Structure 1
Amino acid sequence: MTHTDHIEFMGPDFLLASEQARRLYHDHAAAMPICDYHSHLSPQEIATNHQFADMTELWLQGDHYKWRAMRCAGIDESRITGAADARERFQAWAETVPDCLGNPLYHWTHSELRHPLGIQNILLSPATADDIWQRASDALATPGLRAHGILDSFNVRTVCTTDDPVDALTHHSRHAESNAGVQMLPTFRPDAILKVDQPGFAEYVDELAAASNTIISRYDDLLAALSQRLDYFAEHGCCLSDHSLEKPVFVEPPANAELDRILARALAGQPLSADDAAGFTTALLLWLGQQYARREWVMQLHLGALRSINQRGLETIGINSGFDAIGDTTYAEPLARLLSALDYQHSLPRTVVYNLNPRDNEMLAALVGSFQGDGIPGKVQFGAAWWFNDQKDGIERQLITQMQFGLLSHFVGMLTDSRSLLSFSRHDYFRRILCNMLGDQMLQGELPNDADRIGELVRAVCYDNVQRYLFDR
C-alpha cells in the first residue's frame, strides 16, 4: 500500500485487517442467523408488525446511547426527550453525529443507515439530514420495512424480550399465532419483587397477587404466586430469566417465620434493616434459581450497574434515560456463595453472568470456571460485553478473557440489549471483531492457519452455541 492509498470507510472489509479475517467473516460469519437472547424490544411492535412513522420513532425513541451523546454535544433536552417534533429531534441527532468520530455510535449510525435502509455512501450531518430523512421515510413506508421485514433483513430467527412477571404476555400470544418467521419468546425479569426495601414494593405485590389470582400475606403465598407466573411464562415458551443485581448480596437465608415477618413489615410500609433486606433477597434468589433449574431455564445475572445517578434527570425524564454509569461494587464473594449454594443442592441452572465494570473481566471469568460440569458445555457463562463495554475494545477484551480463562468454543456470543430494531447491526459489528481477532491470531501463528477449522468456531460463537444452550434439553 502506498502513501496515496486509503481504505474505504466502512467498506466490505470493515474491521477485517487480514486475509484470514476476511475469509472467516465472508465465508463463515456473515450469513449466520441471529438468536438475540437478551433485548428490550417492544413485544407489541413485533406482534403487530408495526410500521414506523419515521426515523425518530424507529431510531431515537428510547435510545439512551444517542441521548447521552446529544447531551455531550450541547443539544437542549427539548430536542432529545422533550417537546420538539420528530423532524427536529432527528435534526438534533444529525448535528451530533459529526462530533461522534471515534465513538462506536458513529459506526453504528452509518451501519444502520446502510442496512436495512439502503442509504450508502453518505454521512449523516446537518447538511445531509434532509436527504437522509426523506430517503429513510420513503423506505419505512414500504411493506418490506415493517417490524417483521426489518427482523427478516437481519436474518433474525429468535428474539427474546424482557418481561415483568405480572405481564399478561398478550403480544407474545398474538405473535405465536401469526405466521411470522421470527420466534419471539418472553424472559422472566423479577427485579421488582427482590427490592423488598424499596418504595413501591407493597404496590407491586398487589399487582403480582392480581396477576396470579393469589392472596399474598405470607412468604409461602409469595412463592405460590411466583410459581404460577413461572408456569404461565413457560406456557408461552419462556426459557430464560434475567436479574439486574446492582449490589449482589448473599447471607444465611432466614427461616420462613422470619421471612413472614420481613414481608409483613414491607407490605405495611415499615422500614427494613439492611440485614432483613439481604436475607429476603438471598432466600428468594435461591428459590428462584431452584425453580429455573427445575424448568431447565437459563438464568441471567447483570451485575455492576450504577443506575439513575442524576437526581434531576431521574425526576424530569425518568429511568433508563441515559443517567446510569459503571459501578465499582465488589461482589466476587457473594456471587460465588450464591452459585455454590445452588450447585451444592444440584439446583444451579445454566447461567450467564454479565459484568459492567471491565476491571472485573478476569475475576468473573475465573469465578464462573469453578461452576462448570454436569455434562453441559459452558454451563456457566462469562457473558458478552455489556452496555458500556459493547464497543470494539470492550468486545475484544471480553473475547480475549473468554478465550484465556475458559473455552471460546462454547461461548454463547453476542446480544443487542437494545430497544431499537436497527440495533441488530451490532451482531455484524461483533462478528467482524471476532473474525479480525481470530484472523490476527492465525496470522501470528497463535492459531492454526486453517480457515475451515477456525470457521467452525466462528459459526459456533455466532449462532450454533446459543441455539444449543437455550433449546437442547
Structure 2
Amino acid sequence: MAASLTLHPDRALPLDREQRAVAREIYGQTAHLPLICMHGHVEAEVLASNTAFADPARLLVTPDHYVTRMLVSQGIAPETLGVRRVDGGPTETDSRAIWKTFCANWKLYRGTPSRYWLEHELVEVFGVDQVPSAESADALYDRISERIAEPGFRPQQLLDTFNIELISTTDPAGSDLAHHAGLARQGLGERVVPTFRPDAVVHLDRPSWRDDVAALAKVSGTGTGDYAGFLDALRERRAAFAAAGGLATDHGHLLADTTPLEPAEAAAIYDQALAGTVTADQAARFAAHMLYVFAGMSCDDGLVMQIHPGVLRDHHAGIAAKHGPDVGFDIPFAAEFTTALRPMLQTYGHDPRFRAILFTLDETVYSRELAPLAGAYPSLRLGAPWWFLDTPGGMQRFRETAVDTAGFYNTSGFVDDTRAFASIPARHDLSRRVDAGFLARLVLEHRLNLDEATETAVDLAYNLPKIAYQRRI
C-alpha cells in the first residue's frame, strides 16, 4: 500500500511549544487573507485563454525550474523532462513518463521548499493522499488529470479558488498587451495587471537585441533608429502598460549600477549597438544608465521599480544553446548596492513620486547594505526573499537580518515569484507561517504584545504589498 500523504497543521511553525502556540494564534489571523501577487510570472495568455491545463507533467514538472533543476542536478537530461530544444530535436513527449520520472525521484526534494510547495499542492489543490513514488505515479497522474479536467479548475476560476485578489504578469516592453485587453473585456482588467519588463531592449549585447528593438518600434509606433526615438518608444509603452492597469516595472540586471551617462555618450553607444559594434563594457554602462533613466520615468508615470540584480543568467553556455534561456542554470553571485544605487538615490531617493523595491539573492547584503538603505530612503522598500531565498530558512534569516535596521514597514510584504500557478497559495502560506513564528518570538521576548504582532502579520501578508505597489501619482 502506498504511503499516506498528509499535511501537519503546524508545519513550518516553531519547534518550541510555547512559541508555537503563539505562532498558531497569529497565523490563524492571516491564513485566509486574500493573496496579493505582484511579482508573478504566470503568462497573461494562460489567464486570458482560460483553457484547461494539459496534464500533470506539463503543469507541475516541465515548466517549473525548481523541479527540473533538481532532477538535472542528478544527471537526468532536460530532454527527459520534456524541456524543449532550440533546434527542434527530440524530447520526451509522453507526459506520463515525465511524471513517473519525477515521482520516482521524490526523495531528492527532501528538505527543499519545493517539497513544501508540492505537498501543499498535491493535498490542498489536487486532493492527493499518496506520497509520490514510482509505484504511485500512475494513480497520482490519473487523480490529478481528473482534477484539472474539472470546469472549476480553469485558470480564471482558480483566481477565486486560490483567493487571489490581485496578480501581475511580467511582460516585455515589446508586448502589445493583447491578452490583457482580452482580460479587460472579460472583466478582469483590474485583477490581472501587466508589469513592464524592458530587459530585452536595454542590454545591447544580447543576440536578439536588434529584433527586440524593432518589435518595440512596431508596437509603439515610434521609430527606434536613434536614442531619442528609443526613449520615446519606451515612454509610450510604459503609458500603455499603465493604461492597462500596470503598477510596476521589473529590471533583472546583472549589477545594481545606476551610473548615468551624458546623453551624447548614451546616444553614441546606442548607435554602435545598431551598427553591431558595441562592446561588452559599453553595453554594461548603457544598462546602468538605463536604470537611472527608468527611475526618472517612474517619477513621471508613477510605476514602481523592481530591481533584482546578482544573477548570472545561463551559466552553462551549452545548456543555453541547446535549450534556450531560463531553463534552470541561472546562478547567484555577490552584488553590491551601496555605491551602485547612490547615483539614482542622490537624484530620486527623496522624491515622493519615486518608489523602488529591491530584491537580492545575496543574504550577506541585507544587514550590511539593503536594510540600512531602506531604513534611510523613503523611496526604497526591501522585496521579499526571492528565488533561492524563498525558503523557510531564507525567510527567517531575512527577518533576523533586516528588521533590526529597516523594521517591518520598509519591506514590500510577501510577493511570490513564480510561473508555477498551482504553487502560489503554498508560497504565501509558507511565508505567513514563518512570519507568525518570528513574531511569536518577539511576543515571548516581550518586545511586542500579541495585538501588535497580529497586526504586523496581517500587514505583511496583505496590506504592505498593496501599499508598496501603489502607483505614486
When normalised by structure 1's length, the TM-score is 0.91
Distance 2:289 2:76 in 1: 46
Structure 1, 33-42 or 80-89: larger mean CA deviation:
80-89
Distance 1:442 1:178 in 2: 46
**Among 231, 234, 253, which residue is 1:245 paired with?**
253
Distance 2:134 2:55 in 1: 17
8 Å CA contact 2:357–2:412 kept in 1: the answer is: no
Distance 2:295 2:352 in 1: 7
Q: Which amino acid in the other structure matches residue 285 of structure 1?
A: L
Q: Which amino acid in the other structure matches residue 453 of structure 1?
A: E
Distance 1:243 1:394 in 2: 22
Please state whether the residue corresponding to 2:125 is helix, strand or coil: coil
What does 1:133-172 correspond to in 2, within 5 Å?
Answer: 133-172=141-180
Name the counterpart of 1:336.
Answer: 342
**Among 113, 123, 126, which residue is 1:117 paired with?**
126
Going from structure 1 to structure 2, the CA distance change for 1:12 and 1:361 (only over 3 Å counts) comes to same
**Among 5, 19, 22, which residue is 1:20 paired with?**
22
Distance 2:366 2:230 in 1: 35
Distance 1:107 1:361 in 2: 25
Please state whether the residue corresponding to 1:381 is helix, strand or coil: strand
Going from structure 1 to structure 2, the CA distance change for 1:19 and 1:329 (only over 3 Å counts) comes to closer
Deviation (angstroms), 1:278 = 4.5
Q: Which amino acid in the other structure matches residue 39 of structure 1?
A: G
Q: Which amino acid in the other structure matches residue 300 of structure 2?
A: R
Name the counterpart of 1:351.
Answer: 356
Deviation (angstroms), 1:25 = 0.8
**2:277 is the alignment partner of 1:270:** yes
8 Å CA contact 2:304–2:471 kept in 1: the answer is: no
Name the counterpart of 2:96.
Answer: 87
Q: Which amino acid in the other structure matches residue 113 of structure 1?
A: L
8 Å CA contact 2:415–2:465 kept in 1: the answer is: no
Distance 1:459 1:472 in 2: 21
Q: Which amino acid in the other structure matches residue 433 of structure 1?
A: V
**2:451 is the alignment partner of 1:443:** no
8 Å CA contact 1:56–1:90 kept in 2: the answer is: yes
**Among 4, 7, 10, which residue is 2:7 paired with?**
10
Deviation (angstroms), 1:404 = 1.0
8 Å CA contact 2:247–2:471 kept in 1: the answer is: no
Deviation (angstroms), 1:29 = 0.8
**Among 82, 105, 108, which residue is 1:96 paired with?**
105
What does 1:276-315 correspond to in 2, within 5 Å?
Answer: 276-315=282-321
Deviation (angstroms), 1:386 = 0.7
When normalised by structure 2's length, the TM-score is 0.91
Going from structure 1 to structure 2, the CA distance change for 1:79 and 1:280 (only over 3 Å counts) comes to closer
8 Å CA contact 2:26–2:453 kept in 1: the answer is: yes
Name the counterpart of 2:63.
Answer: 62
What does 1:386-465 correspond to in 2, within 5 Å?
Answer: 386-424=386-424, 425-448=426-449, 450=450, 452-465=451-464
Deviations 1:337-382 (A, max 9, x none): 22223337x376211000111122212111222312xxxxxx4111
Deviation (angstroms), 1:307 = 1.1
Deviation (angstroms), 1:273 = 6.1
Unpaired runs of at least 5, structure 1: 1-7, 373-378
Name the counterpart of 1:258.
Answer: 265
Deviations 1:79-124 (A, max 9, x none): 212324111111111012123211222211111111221223x211
Please state whether the residue corresponding to 1:187 is helix, strand or coil: strand
8 Å CA contact 2:30–2:432 kept in 1: the answer is: yes
Distance 1:273 1:138 in 2: 51
Deviation (angstroms), 1:252 = 4.7
Deviation (angstroms), 1:398 = 1.2
Distance 2:420 2:325 in 1: 17
Structure 1, 157-166 or 357-366: larger mean CA deviation:
357-366
Distance 2:348 2:204 in 1: 22
Distance 1:53 1:279 in 2: 43
Please state whether the residue corresponding to 1:352 is helix, strand or coil: strand
**What stretches of structure 1 move > 6 A for 4+ residues in a row?**
none
Q: Which amino acid in the other structure matches residue 355 of structure 2?
A: R
**Among 308, 327, 339, which residue is 2:333 paired with?**
327
Please state whether the residue corresponding to 1:456 is helix, strand or coil: helix
Please state whether the residue corresponding to 2:359 is helix, strand or coil: strand
Alignment RMSD (CA, Å): 2.0
Unpaired runs of at least 5, structure 2: 15-19, 84-90
Name the counterpart of 2:235.
Answer: 227
Distance 2:288 2:57 in 1: 42
Q: Name the count of aligned residue pairs.
A: 453
Structure 1, 58-67 or 386-395: larger mean CA deviation:
58-67
Distance 1:366 1:469 in 2: 18
Distance 1:251 1:147 in 2: 42
Going from structure 1 to structure 2, the CA distance change for 1:400 and 1:422 (only over 3 Å counts) comes to same
Name the counterpart of 1:129.
Answer: 137
Identity of aligned residues (%): 29
Going from structure 1 to structure 2, the CA distance change for 1:88 and 1:269 (only over 3 Å counts) comes to same
Going from structure 1 to structure 2, the CA distance change for 1:410 and 1:284 (only over 3 Å counts) comes to closer
Deviation (angstroms), 1:321 = 0.5
Please state whether the residue corresponding to 1:161 is helix, strand or coil: strand
Deviations 1:138-184 (A, max 9, x none): 11111111112222222101101101111011111111121459810
Deviations 1:235-293 (A, max 9, x none): 10111001011123243522x3333222111101113362x334433433222211112
8 Å CA contact 1:245–1:301 kept in 2: the answer is: yes
Name the counterpart of 1:376.
Answer: none
Name the counterpart of 1:382.
Answer: 382
Q: Which amino acid in the other structure matches residue 118 of structure 1?
A: G
Distance 2:59 2:187 in 1: 23
What does 1:34-45 correspond to in 2, within 5 Å?
Answer: 34-45=35-46
Q: Which amino acid in the other structure matches residue 271 of structure 1?
A: V
Going from structure 1 to structure 2, the CA distance change for 1:347 and 1:279 (only over 3 Å counts) comes to farther
Structure 1, 175-184 or 146-155: larger mean CA deviation:
175-184
Structure 1, 209-218 or 17-26: larger mean CA deviation:
209-218
Please state whether the residue corresponding to 1:242 is helix, strand or coil: strand
Please state whether the residue corresponding to 1:408 is helix, strand or coil: coil
